[in-house]
Amino acid sequence: MDANPSTAMYPLHRCKTIYLVRHAQGIHNVEGEKDHSAYMSPHLFDAHLTPLGWNQVDCLHEHVKKSGLAQKIELVITSPLLRTMQTAVGVFGGENPVDGVSASPLMVENAGHSSRPAISSLNCPPFLAVEACREHLIENDEDVLWEPNVREANSSVAARGMKFIDWLWTREEKEIAIVSHSGFLYHTLSMYSRESHPTIREEVGKHFANCELRSMVLVDTSMLGSKSPTYNYPGRTPAGLDLPSDAGFG
């Protein structure tokens, strides 16, 4: 027999499924494709989605509903920037209220220059905005080390991304959607896949298209999670006439 199997097996309670999404097209993407330096413009740091971006959101929202994913996701984590929050709410937001049913809005009408109707919170998972999964950081102007044209190094983005993934193990949810940015996703996944088979490394490390969704299995290999297995059963035999067969052969 092969002593080095090509597959791996882990206890289910040490695994989570995460759904990684890059935000839809923002106005900064349009300008950046014309002139890459536009990405450093202070006026575009918190860009909103374009009309095409909202069309991308609608398409992914429909896919999430038809595939059944909308019923599986227990938590949506989003970068706190406008383009990611608009994408997260548009993709994973709630159903339209029906007669006699009311729900507070996740997004008010025309939020962020969207020209969109309000999006309900009805029958949708909770949302959480987390600074740790946003795009390259730029220090604020209260910091004495702040430089207006210096962005966080790629290696720092990757390290921040790995800490963020470790933090997910403090959450009880097993199926989590994360809406973030191209750079954050690329550098984080490249770091995680650096020792993988080249085929896996290529698949995991590809740049995300706008509003692309990828599903990944996250495995706790360092005992970060403390939850006990939900479905396991110890196999105890009730007292009876037959002797227990705990040792078992076959």
The pLDDT value recorded for residue 244 is 58
Is residue 6 domain-resident?
A: no
Average pLDDT over residues 180-197: 90
Question: How many Å apart are CA 116 and CA 123, to the nearest integer?
Answer: 20
Q: Is residue 242's pLDDT more than 70?
A: no
Domain count for the chain, please give it.
Answer: 1
pLDDT band for position 1 (cuts 50, 70, 90)? low
CATH of the domain at 169: 3.40.50.1240
Residue 206: CA count within 13 A, CB half-sphere: 13
Active site residues: 23, 135
Is residue 69 domain-resident?
A: yes
Is residue 175 domain-resident?
A: yes
Is residue 227 domain-resident?
A: no
**204-218: b or e for each residue (b if 16 or more CB lie within 10 Å)?**
bbeebebbbbeeeeb
Is residue 250 domain-resident?
A: no
Q: What does DSSP say about strands 15-22 and 175-180: parallel, antiparallel, or unpaired?
A: parallel
Of the chain, the end-to-end C-alpha distance in Å amounts to 19
Dihedral class, residue 223 (left if φ above 0, else alpha if ψ from -120 to 50, else beta): left
pLDDT one-digit tens code per residue, 94-103: 877 655 566 7
Non-local (6+) Cβ contacts of 179 within 8 A are 21, 22, 23, 76, 77, 78, 79, 84, 85, 87, 88, 91
- Which of the two residues, 235 and 90, has the higher pLDDT score? 90
What percent of the chain has a predicted confidence (pLDDT) above 90? 46
- Which of the two residues, 42 and 91, has the higher pLDDT score? 91
| Domain assignment of residue 28, given as a range | 14-97+107-140+151-219
Write down the pTM of the prediction.
Answer: 0.84
Is residue 5 domain-resident?
A: no
